[in-house]
Structure 1
Amino acid sequence: IRDVWIAIGVLCGLGIILALIQTCIWHSRAGKQIIDLGTIGKFLLYIIHIVGTIFFIVMVGVSLWWLIFFKRPGSAFLVIPTSIQQTSFTVLVVVTFILKSLDILHIIIRQSNIDIFFMDWEKPKSNDITDVSVWRTYFVANEYSELQTFRRVNSTFHIIAVLFFLKVINLENVATAQPGTNLFPSSSNYNADYNGILRVGIAFSMWLATALVQYLVYVIFYQRFVEDRIINFIDLCSVSNISVFILMDNQ
């Protein structure tokens, strides 16, 4: 686990440099002349975003590495994590959750402050400017509002699929603190307790697998043969002669 913290330290150092670059870009776009409290706050928020992502990647990598090599059949490559290692991993999970929660809050606040303009380029057929209907702009704005909640991965199906694999097929038994895998152990056999690190590994594996399958099915089949909502929205704007301007910064 010491090597893990060393890797986190190195990656966080690189992350701070990346956060500094992103802050400089934001400072230039915001039209600021001096470094004020807003710039410092933005720098801290970028650090929270990058460090939280680093912690998440390391957490997932450690859990998958332990899951693969501890459960590898044939020979024991790793022993079960000690209580100190388990405590360190728990701290990593808690810190990652806090950082990513703050990052999501920052994303919500940032998106709520974005300025969106719908420009209607349709010219009136006569000198009366009221000849151009505003309902086309309302319709495009409504379609854009619906598009904001569009996801290529269905969240409800995603959760149900993960629970199906973990609870129905009993893949959660892969996370028991014993070598080998027995998905349907009998009551007469010894059943070890679940290990937190292994549970994170198997849960993330199922989460990633179901999300990847949904994404590929949508991109390869649904998007090609049924509809592509993003392309449809672009076509709607083109036919309606309406442009959408999204301004994320002051300048």
Structure 2
Amino acid sequence: RSSTFLFYTTQSGKASSGSLEVLRYAKSIILQNTIQTSQPSKIYPPRLIIEYAEIEIENGILTKESAESDKLTTSLTFAAEYTMNTKKFWARVKAVLGFVSAMCVVVWIMRTYHWLTRNNLPLEDGGGTISGFRVVIKSMSFLCHTISIFGFPFILAICSFFFVFFKLQEDVYIMLPSDSEYYGIGNEYFFFSASIQIIFWSQTVYISHLIYRQCQVDIFFIDWEKSKGRYADVSLWRMIMVVNEWNRLQSARKTSIEFNLFWIAFF
């Protein structure tokens, strides 16, 4: 069985009277090669995807809209794609994404709950209820931070999977998802680009809120030492030590000797 296609045609654009009204031409051609699921070293019969565009014609001449546009000179783009059926892959990704999302919600709720228990003192202890607006802002800050904490490793793991197994394969058994503007929002890379943007802006919101909180804090340094009986300026090194102690209070450092030795030995 053979099929034919045309780069441009005037036959399909004729009216019943026989006059030419539309000129159709090939705008883009994609040759898609898909590897077989059972035998990855083989491919299915290639599929040719052709996108046509039209030029309107009235009384044998171009219309004003067509003449003023860039349709006077047509261009044709050609691309060859090598891909595979990714239904099983995306099914596993959705399952892991559901688990990660559930963990994200649990951690977010626990962080918000612990913050409320630490900051919302009973009335008899000199405290009171926290304003609803403050609770919402703090909760959203925790949510953004939790999304970035769980989202980035998740996306990194998926990208690392393709990077390692696609680059190191000797026999073809895995191909990258198809990346083509022809698919629009349905493009398989849309999930990655959208996720990275969500993670980036979530972390930006959290960092902005953290910086705002630190800018609203008034800091008083109290450094007391026994009087020497005479006037003496405070040592510069002592001031640096006090400020450094405050710096340490704002950060948490976690180190692992085993982890450091492992990376030093192999890299």
The answer to which structure has the higher helix fraction is 1
TM-score relative to the length of structure 2: 0.47
Answer 1 or 2: higher relative contact order, Cα 8 Å, separation at least 6. Answer: 1
TM-score of the two chains, using structure 1 as the length reference: 0.50
Q: Tell me which structure has the larger Cα radius of gyration.
A: 2
